Structure 1
């Protein structure tokens, strides 16, 4: 799986963020802590991932 950092991080050397990895379409999206890439990852369905992103957007708008 190829991991990528959010475009909202401080740059390529910023390790204070999460990384995303696209799994097979029927599996979902992997999310891991960039500070601990060998510590495992969370697997979310596309619907769960979308829900979390929408919740974060609503939370930061307040």
Structure 2
């Protein structure tokens, strides 16, 4: 599956998680909303074989850096 290899290939310092894509639904739900970002993060942990804590810490740091917070 292309998506899995793409997630594995993203450098950790460039990784973010989001749910805004209407065509890549989460959990076969009809609509995508930010409420599902945890499901996206859980999927990334499984693909990258890291803990949820690692993904949350990494993506929070990346988001702060991206938005200069």
Q: State the TM-score bracket (shorter-chain normalisation).
A: 0.3 to 0.5
| TM-score in terms of structure 2 length | 0.36
Question: Which structure's residues are more often helix, by fraction?
Answer: 2
- Taking CA–CA contacts closer than 8 Å with sequence separation of 6 or more, which of the two structures ends up with the larger relative contact order? 2
Question: Which structure's residues are more often strand, by fraction?
Answer: 1
